[in-house]
Amino acid sequence: MSEEKAPLHFIEQIIEDDLSNGFDSSKIRFRFPPEPNGFLHVGHLKAIALNFNLGQRYNAPVNLRFDDTNPVKENQEFVDAIKENIEWLGFSWDKECYASDYFQQLYDWAYYLVKEGKAYIDSQDSEAMAIQKGTPTQTGTNSPFRDRPVEENIRLFEEMKAGKHEEGSHVLRAKIDMSSPNMLLRDPVMYRILYKHHHRTGNDWCIYPMYDWTHGESDYIEQVSHSLCTLEFKPHRELYDWFLDQLPTSNKLRPYQREFARLNLSYTVTSKRKLAQLVDDNNVNGWDDPRMPTIAGMRRRGYPPKALINFVNTAGISKRENVIDVSLLEFCVREELNKTTARVMAVVNPIKLVITNYPADQEEMLTAINNPEDESQGSRAIPFSRELYIEREDFKEEANRKFFRLTLGKEVRLKNAYIIKGESVTKDDQGNITEIQCSYDPDSKSGSGSEASMRKVKGTIHWVSVSHALEATVHNYDRLFNDESPDQHKEASFLDFVNPSSLHTQQAMVEPSLNSLSVGERVQFQRLGYYVVDSSSRENELVFNKTVGLRDTWSKKQ
Ligand code: ATP
Ligand code: MG
């Protein structure tokens, strides 16, 4: 595999070093730990590919762990969507785990810490605790409850669990160091009281563990060897280690946290909270709107999984934050679609064209190659007749020498068909063209081998036969934000940069063979771009999403 030859990225280098220092390769295990509080986005894609690629490289299992410790924002719909996304990307996890399955174990360990005098119940409100926390340059102050007797801490912790105290009345805090230069070590909260229904544990619990007290311990329970997370967790590493150091000793494998840079993409926001806001404010039609940088949205937009994985692999794994240009993503999508999609004809802004010397009662089937990049995709038949639709933009009554499409008195080729010449037009009262008349050269049929079929004309345009065409709805998308870094402005919200015209819908005419397409199938509309059949399509009512445009190369060359 070419991947194997690529230079190692720094995480692989760390693993290689561990192995050469005697780490047992059969003990390598990774995990991808999403919080089910929203749909996965393009940033998660990087974390997913990183972990699962490593799993493949080291022949090691990868757990899918739902980090479901906040019942307020999490639900089953998000769990299901996350699983579906990862499967669609083509990765398979080893164990499906839930932090909520460890609630009892986490409680027992917390209880142990209380008994050891390493955790205490603080009964102040959150404002008081925030003030005592200090600042990065100023040490914190001990809570008046910090030296509570162990027996009292135990009693209160048991009562918290038993539902005897109100939300906000007490928290369990680790007793570390209020003067630590790392603010996260200033007696972090381990448990809070929450009377909330949890999507998996129901009302069994009314105290919920915090992220820092859950994550490393979950890694330990699952025996994850290399726990990979994004850079913002770097300062948490010390706490991750501190918590693991306090657990009752055992000879089980000790996990280590390693950090890599997040994926940031231009013209995009990659934060579930912000994406949720776009959904809630109806800036888009749901988490899987084709404009959303969610995996579900990109799927619906027509991005192939392989292109997405190529994209994150190309963007690479680094230690430093950077912003990847969204055009790299589009390039990877285009490259994949160029190889895999059939070329078909669709007219998105139709005008009628009549070939006056083609008999009204005649029609014929012409042959079209499906994909010149891939012979194995074969060819298909397309109907031709006297009345056609062409793109309105492909005709001008008068044009300069650089216009290689149809004009009066000049010739162009109809793709896969004949050479035609513009003769006259019909206009309505406002002077708008309603129909174009032209003549054709009957000897010029593409592929017939005749002299006229080889004749070079400057332009080639696409078309569909009026009586055979199917009507289809086409959604075209522009960028969702009209600013390169929508969430990097101090004075403005990212919502101020939402592009008000990111969706433009057209009624198109498409060739009849498209009737056999099913939801999710991708095609290239020649000269227009790549499109995918949307899930809102119904029998005889095709709806397409434009995936990405293409560079129009052949219309000028042929
Ligand atoms: P968000 O800020 O969007 O809510 P999160 O980090 O809170 O993201 P989680 O569900 O907790 O979301 O993330 C699961 C995993 O995905 C974590 O390991 C996290 O580090 C990683 N991840 C999240 N966003 C990115 C990103 N932009 N680039 C790379 N990895 C990411
Ligand atoms: Mg998170």
> Using one digit for the tens of pLDDT, what is the confidence trace for 10-51?
999 999 999 999 999 999 999 999 999 999 999 999 999 999
Establish whether residue 33 lines the binding site of ligand 1, counting it when its CB lies within 6 angstroms of any ligand atom: yes
Asked whether residue 1 carries a pLDDT value surpassing 60, the answer given is no
Establish whether residue 312 lines the binding site of ligand 1, counting it when its CB lies within 6 angstroms of any ligand atom: no
Q: How many CB atoms lie within 10 A of CB 537?
A: 17
Establish whether residue 315 lines the binding site of ligand 1, counting it when its CB lies within 6 angstroms of any ligand atom: no
CATH superfamily, domain 21-260, is HUPs (3.40.50.620)
Asked whether residue 401 carries a pLDDT value surpassing 90, the answer given is no
- For a mutational test of ligand 1's pocket, the pick from 44, 277, 287, 313, i.e. the residue with the most ligand atoms closer than 8 A to its C-beta, is 44
238 has catalytic annotation: no
72 CA to middle of ligand 2, Å? Answer: 14
44 CA to middle of ligand 1, Å? Answer: 5
262 has catalytic annotation: yes
The residue whose CA has the least distance to atom 23 of ligand 1 is 44
Q: Which of 29, 31, 35, 200 is catalytic?
A: 35
533 and 543 Cβ atoms separated by less than 8 Å: yes
What lies within 8 Å, CB to CB, of 20 at 6+ separation is none
112 CA to middle of ligand 2, Å? Answer: 27
Establish whether residue 272 lines the binding site of ligand 1, counting it when its CB lies within 6 angstroms of any ligand atom: yes
Span 346-462 CATH architecture? Beta Barrel (2.40)
* CATH 2.40.240.10 domain span(s) along the chain: 272-342+472-557, 346-462
Q: pTM for the full model?
A: 0.93
**What is the four-CA torsion angle of 458, 462, 466, 472, rounded to 10 degrees?**
-160
At residue 456, the pLDDT reads 87
Which atom of ligand 1 lies closest to the CA of 40?
10
- The band of 4, judged by pLDDT with boundaries at 50, 70 and 90, is low
136 and 179 Cβ atoms separated by less than 8 Å: no
Q: Give the closest residue to 257 by CA, choosing from 57, 14, 528, 518.
A: 14
What lies within 8 Å, CB to CB, of 473 at 6+ separation is 505, 506, 507, 508, 541, 542, 543, 544
546 has catalytic annotation: no
Asked whether residue 355 carries a pLDDT value surpassing 70, the answer given is yes
Residue 133: exposure state from Cβ atoms within 10 A (0-12, 13-18, ≥19): middle
Q: Which of 272, 334, 405, 413 is catalytic?
A: 272
Using DSSP, state whether 359 is helix, strand or coil: coil
Taking only the tens place, the pLDDT of each residue in 332-346 is 999 999 999 999 999
Asked whether residue 274 carries a pLDDT value surpassing 60, the answer given is yes
The residue whose CA has the least distance to atom 3 of ligand 1 is 271
Q: Give the closest residue to 296 by CA, choosing from 127, 485, 102, 81.
A: 81
- Residue matched to tokens 């499409």: 405
Span 272-342+472-557 CATH architecture? Beta Barrel (2.40)
Q: How far apart are CA 285 and CA 477, in angstroms?
A: 13
Ligand minimally distant from the alpha carbon of residue 66:
1
Q: How many CB atoms lie within 10 A of CB 268?
A: 24
Q: How far apart are CA 453 and CA 513, in angstroms?
A: 25
Using DSSP, state whether 74 is helix, strand or coil: coil
Beta bridge partners, 257, equal 227
Q: Give the closest residue to 461 by CA, choosing from 432, 513, 426, 421.
A: 421
Which atom of ligand 1 lies closest to the CA of 35?
10
Q: Give the closest residue to 188 by CA, choosing from 137, 118, 249.
A: 118
528 and 481 Cβ atoms separated by less than 8 Å: no
Q: Percent of the chain at pLDDT above 70? A: 98
Which atom of ligand 1 lies closest to the CA of 232?
20
312 and 546 Cβ atoms separated by less than 8 Å: no
Asked whether residue 558 carries a pLDDT value surpassing 60, the answer given is no
Asked whether residue 551 carries a pLDDT value surpassing 90, the answer given is no
Q: Give the closest residue to 304 by CA, choosing from 337, 327, 331, 326.
A: 337
- The band of 453, judged by pLDDT with boundaries at 50, 70 and 90, is confident
Establish whether residue 342 lines the binding site of ligand 1, counting it when its CB lies within 6 angstroms of any ligand atom: no
Establish whether residue 293 lines the binding site of ligand 1, counting it when its CB lies within 6 angstroms of any ligand atom: no
Q: Which of 57, 115, 262, 396 is catalytic?
A: 262
43 CA to middle of ligand 1, Å? Answer: 6
443 CA to middle of ligand 1, Å? Answer: 62
